[in-house]
Amino acid sequence: MNVASDEFPELFRKNSMLRERVAVILIILPFILWVVVGGGWLYLLAILTVLCLAVVEFGLMFRGHGLRPALPLLVSGVAILVVARFLFGFKHTPLLLASFCLISQVWHLVDYERGATHSGTDFAITIAGVMYVGFVGSYLISLRLLPEGLWWLLVALPSIWMADAAAYVFGRVFGRHKLSQRISPKKTWEGYLSGVVIGALGTAGLTMLWRTCAGSESTLTPVRGLIVGLTISSLAPLGDLGISMIKREFQAKDTGSLLPGHGGVLDRLDSMVWAGVLGFYVISWLIS
């Protein structure tokens, strides 16, 4: 009886969390589709908002443990990189990154003179946040701007969603061998490999569906979809592990609490930003 009594609250908590996650998905999915299909400035504003929220969560994780990354520089750096990617592509990226490094260095030199004790580490975190969230995240803009970018975006992002869902389900049922004992002990090789297979095959099928909408002259083909899905579902989960590594160091369950049942914005973007990078380069190679 005691065992059952102990297990019931935990089971109730998990079921409640699952309901929250499903509810959030059902609410925001139509909005996401509207933004993705609309493209243009609407899409830019959505990506800009999401990435700025994510980088704030990134900075606050470190500030909550005695470090002082520059939040104003994190937000402004991400915003500038995202807008510049939308307006100019990669044309000004080297200049912007070099300028940001110099400005960040000056910020933390001054902060050190004012009494900060870990300014070298703070400087590194500020640079890392803008590079990870701003530079890498901006590929979600670049992917949408490709020829037939709408359709390819609707191929690339679902590939990691399908892989994540399959890894979770098959991992719980068949998982026996730990994928990463220290970082994410619930993840298994069985779940990961199932995610790769389902992600690749599901993306190939999704590409066939979108091709009927895009027309017979479309660059979308099942083989290309398979390649994109295989690449993303194999490598994008590293983003999840990367953010989990930071959370493990600080003993944090989530990066934030903005999305009920899902944690923070950065928790949801950890794999998607890499789906954007991988999708952009693989698709550019396939259609060139």
- 92-123 residue pLDDT tens: 999 999 999 999 999 999 999 999 999 999 99
For the chain, the domains span: 39-145, 147-288
45-46-47-48 Cα dihedral, nearest 10 degrees = 40
pLDDT at residue 11 greater than cutoff 50 = no
Q: How many helices (H) and strands (E) does the chain have?
A: 12, 2
What percent of the chain is predicted at pLDDT more than 90? Answer: 72
Helix axes 222-235 and 272-287, enclosed angle (nearest 10): 150
User: What's the chain's length in residues?
Assistant: 288
Q: What is the mean pLDDT of the segment spanning 129-156? A: 96
Out of 82-91, 118-127, 239-248, least confident range: 239-248
pLDDT at residue 26 greater than cutoff 90 = no
Give me the sign of the Cα torsion angle 212, 215, 217, 219: negative
Is pLDDT larger for residue 215 or for residue 258? 215
Q: What is the mean pLDDT of the segment spanning 186-214? A: 94
What pairs with residue 259 in β-bridges? 263
In whole angstroms, give the CA distance from residue 246 to residue 184: 11
Q: What is the mean pLDDT of the segment spanning 51-73? A: 95
Q: Residue 127 corresponds to which tokens in the numbers above?
A: 């640079």
Q: Decide: 149 and 38 in contact? Cβ < 8 Å.
A: no
Nearest to 272 by CA among 198, 191, 169, 163: 163
pLDDT at residue 134 greater than cutoff 80 = yes
**Phi and psi dihedrals of 90, rounded to 5?**
-95, 5
Residue 22: predicted pLDDT: 57
Average pLDDT, the chain: 89
Residue 76: predicted pLDDT: 98
Q: What is the mean pLDDT of the segment spanning 115-134? A: 97
Residue 34: predicted pLDDT: 86
Q: What are the C-alpha distances in Å from 159 to residues 150, 217, 226?
A: 15, 23, 10
Q: What is the mean pLDDT of the segment spanning 111-137? A: 97
pLDDT at residue 10 greater than cutoff 80 = no
Residue 59: predicted pLDDT: 96
pTM over 0.85: yes
Indicate the pLDDT class of residue 199, thresholds 50, 70 and 90.
very high
Residue 259: predicted pLDDT: 58
Query: Can you give the three-state secondary structure of 82-129, one letter per residue?
Result: HHHHHHHCCCCHHHHHHHHHHHHHHHHHHHHHCCCCCHHHHHHHHHHH
Q: Residue 200 corresponds to which tokens in the numbers above?
A: 């690749």
Nearest to 106 by CA among 91, 93, 119: 119
